[in-house]
């Protein structure tokens, strides 16, 4: 196993007490999902709480998650909280659709995300990464807010790779609205899970008003795309959607564009931020990623081929997704009474799947609090259902490959020419509420060139061992559908 000799344990908030009630879990979700669930989740496959006239089930183990997501997806449906919290951004887009509409939308979009499309997507990623890194390098006085930089870059990549658009005109307003939404009315509340959809709370009214402002920007994005495309522009996802939805109302097209822009950048931007945070605190891993990036060409024309030569960078991205999954949890409602890992569940019960707990369960992960990307290099990679940053089953994230490729190529480009460190040593906590955001938002120091002398003797030994493990690793391991 590759070892840097240095062990970084990033801070994490304390778990909920074991005596927490079902309502307590839901209330804690608004503050921080990383401290909403009790340690009991590490031992019980599923836990049931009474919640008024219904039940709340926490599905904790790989078997319980497999049951809900992959083995019996037809026995569960989306919960109304998803519609309340994400509805203003997703509308009727793929992530919110159900039944036959969902099947049709998934079939329409799937061709845009097959492995065949990765080389072209990688070109766009590399071009955007190059432009952003060059700008940062030219303008930075050394101090930088990498959270904003990575989220702006991810939005750039989503807009360019899927819709052939530059973000100069709409990007800042779109990001400003999202930052506002995620910090305020986008945080899930207990009432989102408990109240019938028809009963509107003051927060729901504010969300509806937000949706109007958001939809206005999405309409202007679509108008811009329609006017800027020339007959020579290669076909992109927008053309595909226009063809597929020509018999549908314009609103569905707008919801799909909105879904892809939102889901396609918020989570990936956060992954990049957390990877930078972890690498700034684990300098030996940072050196190893830099060395790997310097040994291959990540410029646009060759970026697609470079992906296979960045196994260490990929392991860092996966370890980041384990510790800080941007989608920290999923939720479903039970459609018919049955048995979930020995626990009888009633129709209408609410099931939570806390990925953030699964990823830190000591029964499945050695030293789970430790940042150790080498666990993703081992021949004995984690079992598919112990690592679910993209979910699983028919509703697995459609953009998972794109997100991983994007995170790898951006990290490789950023680190091959720069070193990053934290400006202050203050602890940074993950806050899982709308997504997994840092608190406080830290400032980084960026230094151009090769800042640290490599630790020669240990590096030489470890990199030799690493070469052996990384080469022996096959991409068909573990995440078959990711
Ligand atoms: C690191 C980045 C990402 C993470 C962690 C992530 C996570 C997830 C998860 C956990 C789900 C499943 C939710 C559930 O079953 O309830 C999901 C679904 C989805 N994701 Fe992602 N995602 C990422 C990037 C992307 C990208 C780049 C796109 C699009 C370009 C995207 C589009 C979607 C869509 C449309 C769905 C709904 C799929 C369906 O219901 O059929 N995601 N994502």
Q: Give the Cα separation of 364 and 358 in Å (integer).
A: 8
* 327 in contact with ligand 1, CB cutoff 6 A: yes
Strands 350-353 and 54-59: parallel
The three-state secondary structure class of 430 is: strand
For residue 193, give Cα distances in angstroms to 81, 187, 199, 437.
Answer: 5, 12, 12, 22
What are the pLDDT digits (tens) for 420-477? Answer: 999 998 899 999 999 999 999 999 999 987 554 444 433 333 433 444 445 444 333 3
Q: How far is the CA of 87 from the centre of ligand 1 (A)?
A: 15
Minimum-distance ligand 1 atom for the alpha carbon of 270? 1
Which atom of ligand 1 lies at the shortest distance from residue 82's CA? 16
Pocket test for ligand 1, best of 121, 163, 397 (most atoms within 8 A of CB): 397
Atom of ligand 1 nearest to the CA of 332: 16
ipTM summary value: 0.99
Written as six digits, the tokens of 137 are 């390098």
What are the chain's domains? 22-471 (1.10.630.10)
Q: 234: buried, middle or exposed (CB in 10 Å: 19+, 13-18, 0-12)?
A: exposed
Report how far ligand 1's centroid is from the alpha carbon of 246 (Å).
Answer: 25
Tens place of pLDDT per residue across the chain (482 aa): 444 556 799 988 999 999 999 999 999 999 999 999 999 999 999 999 999 889 999 999 999 999 999 999 999 999 999 999 999 999 999 999 999 999 999 999 999 999 999 999 999 999 999 999 999 998 867 899 999 999 999 999 999 999 999 898 899 999 999 999 999 999 999 999 999 988 999 999 999 999 999 999 999 999 999 988 777 777 889 998 999 998 888 899 999 999 999 999 999 999 999 999 999 999 999 999 999 999 999 999 999 999 999 999 999 999 999 999 999 999 999 999 999 999 999 999 999 999 999 999 999 999 999 999 999 997 778 899 999 999 999 999 999 999 999 999 999 999 999 999 999 988 999 999 999 999 999 999 999 875 544 444 333 334 334 444 454 443 333 333 33
Nearest-CA residue for ligand 1 atom 30 is 264
397 is in an annotated binding site: yes
| Centroid of chain to Cα 405 | 13
Ligand 1 atom 7, closest CA: 390
Q: How far is the C-alpha of 200 from the C-alpha of 133, rounded, in Å?
A: 45
Going by CA atoms, what residue is nearest to atom 37 of ligand 1? Answer: 95
Distances (CA, A) of 334 to 36, 60, 71, 96: 22, 16, 14, 17
* Rg of the chain, C-alpha, whole Å: 22
Rounded to the nearest angstrom, the distance between the alpha carbon of 154 and the centre of ligand 1 is 14
């Amino acid at each position: 196993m590759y070892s840097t000799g240095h062990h970084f344990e990033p801070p994490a908030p304390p778990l909920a007490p074991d005596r927490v009630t079902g309502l307590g879990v839901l209330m804690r979700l608004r503050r921080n999902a990383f401290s909403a669930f009790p340690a009991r989740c590490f031992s019980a496959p599923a836990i049931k709480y009474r919640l008024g006239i219904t039940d709340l089930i926490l599905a904790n183990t790989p078997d319980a998650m497999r049951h809900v997501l992959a083995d019996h997806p037809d026995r569960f449906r989306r919960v109304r909280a998803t519609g309340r919290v994400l509805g203003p951004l997703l509308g009727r887009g793929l992530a919110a659709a159900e039944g036959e509409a969902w099947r049709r939308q998934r079939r329409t979009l799937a061709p845009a995300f097959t492995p065949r499309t990765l080389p072209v997507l990688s070109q766009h990623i590399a071009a955007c990464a190059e432009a952003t890194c060059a700008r940062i390098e030219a303008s930075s006085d050394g101090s930088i807010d990498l959270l904003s930089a990575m989220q702006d870059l991810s939005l750039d990549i989503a807009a360019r790779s899927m819709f052939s658009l530059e973000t100069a005109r709409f990007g800042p307003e779109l990001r400003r609205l999202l930052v506002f939404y995620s910090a305020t009315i986008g945080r899930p509340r207990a009432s989102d899970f408990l109240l019938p959809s028809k009963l509107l709370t003051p927060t729901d009214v504010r969300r509806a008003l937000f949706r109007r402002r958001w939809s206005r920007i999405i309409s202007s994005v679509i108008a811009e795309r329609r006017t800027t495309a020339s007959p020579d522009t290669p076909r992109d996802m927008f053309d595909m959607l226009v063809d597929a939805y020509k018999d549908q109302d314009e609103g569905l097209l707008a919801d799909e564009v909105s879904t892809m822009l939102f889901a396609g950048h918020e989570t990936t931007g956060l992954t990049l931020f957390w990877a930078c945070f972890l690498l700034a605190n684990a300098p030996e891993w940072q050196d190893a990623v830099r060395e790997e990036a310097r040994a291959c060409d990540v410029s646009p024309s060759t970026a697609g081929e470079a992906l296979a030569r960045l196994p260490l960078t990929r392991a860092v991205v996966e370890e980041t997704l384990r510790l800080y999954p941007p989608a920290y949890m999923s939720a479903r409602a039970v459609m018919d009474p049955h048995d979930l890992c020995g626990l009888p569940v009633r129709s209408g019960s609410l099931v939570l799947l806390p990925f953030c707990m699964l990823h830190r369960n000591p029964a499945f992960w050695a030293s789970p609090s430790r940042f150790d990307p080498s666990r993703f290099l081992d021949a004995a990679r984690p079992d598919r259902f112990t690592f679910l940053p993209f979910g699983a089953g028919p509703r697995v994230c459609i953009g998972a490959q794109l997100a991983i490729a994007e995170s790898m190529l951006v990290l490789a480009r950023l680190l091959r020419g720069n070193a990053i460190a934290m400006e202050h040593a203050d602890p940074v906590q993950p806050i899982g509420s709308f997504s997994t955001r840092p608190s406080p938002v830290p400032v980084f120091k960026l230094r151009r060139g090769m800042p640290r002398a490599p630790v020669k003797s240990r590096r030489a030994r470890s990199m030799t061992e690493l070469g052996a493990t990384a080469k022996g690793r096959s991409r068909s391991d573990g995440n078959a559908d990711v």
